[in-house]
């Protein structure tokens, strides 16, 4: 990118070194010269060489400042590009984590919903098991009564005892199931109606 400037800088430095050696030689000749016209001629040549050297120095300073400005601009552009890349990377990471969190949240929600349905259906299964046991006990008592192995009075007493026994277990379970919330089985829904 800066190879052209580098070449020019090397060329100017070489010219300045060459001019300095020429100037040194002229100064040596000036100190050894005895003739006034030679001294004036050498002084004029030295002054021209000094002006040329100063011009080369100024050119060198301009090239250095131009190169430095180019480097500064390049640094600034690179810095902006790095900032842009970092910002894009942050946005991608945020997007990725948001997607992961949404997927994780959805999985957790589905697990909770499944857990609530499982609890709800297990409670209903337990209720129906109790009802089946109650009904099967009543059916067994009715069959025994029909076959004549049990008097009618004893049959009615056993029916009342079995009904009280299973009613003691079934009624609280039914009341508990009907009070449960439809969305979250672990919560109770009190069916509160405002204004009543």
pLDDT of residue 1: 46
The continuous run of DSSP H or E covering 187 comes out as none
Q: How far is CA 58 from CA 22, 62, 70, 73, 193, in A?
A: 19, 6, 18, 22, 93
Give Dmax (Cα) for the chain.
Answer: 165
Residue range 146-161: average pLDDT?
92
Binning pLDDT at 50, 70 and 90, where does residue 137 land? very high
Binning pLDDT at 50, 70 and 90, where does residue 142 land? very high
Task: For 76-135, write each residue's pLDDT tens digit.
Answer: 787 887 777 778 777 777 776 776 666 677 777 777 777 778 888 888 899 999 999 999
pLDDT of residue 192: 60
Q: How far apart are CA 118 and CA 122, in angstroms?
A: 6
What is the gyration radius of the CA atoms in the chain, in angstroms?
53
Model confidence, pTM: 0.44
Q: How far apart are CA 119 and CA 136, in angstroms?
A: 25
């Amino acid at each position: 990118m800066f190879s052209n400037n580098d070449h020019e800088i090397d060329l100017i430095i070489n010219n300045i070194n060459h001019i300095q050696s020429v100037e040194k030689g002229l100064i040596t000749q000036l100190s050894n010269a005895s003739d006034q016209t030679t001294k004036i001629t050498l002084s004029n040549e030295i002054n021209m060489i000094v002006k040329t050297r100063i011009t080369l120095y100024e050119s060198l300073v301009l090239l250095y400042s131009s190169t430095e400005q180019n480097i500064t601009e390049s640094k600034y552009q690179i810095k902006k590009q790095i900032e842009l890349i970092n910002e894009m990377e942050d946005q991608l990471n945020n997007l990725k984590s948001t997607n992961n969190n949404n997927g994780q949240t959805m999985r957790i929600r589905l697990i909770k919903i499944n857990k609530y349905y499982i609890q709800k259906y297990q409670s209903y299964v337990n209720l129906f098991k109790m009802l089946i046991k109650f009904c099967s006990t009543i059916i067994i008592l009715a069959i025994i009564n029909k076959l004549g192995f049990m008097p009618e009075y004893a049959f009615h007493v056993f029916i009342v005892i079995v009904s009280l026994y299973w009613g003691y277990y079934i009624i609280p379970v039914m009341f508990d199931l009907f009070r449960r919330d439809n969305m979250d089985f672990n919560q109770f829904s009190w069916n509160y109606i405002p204004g009543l």
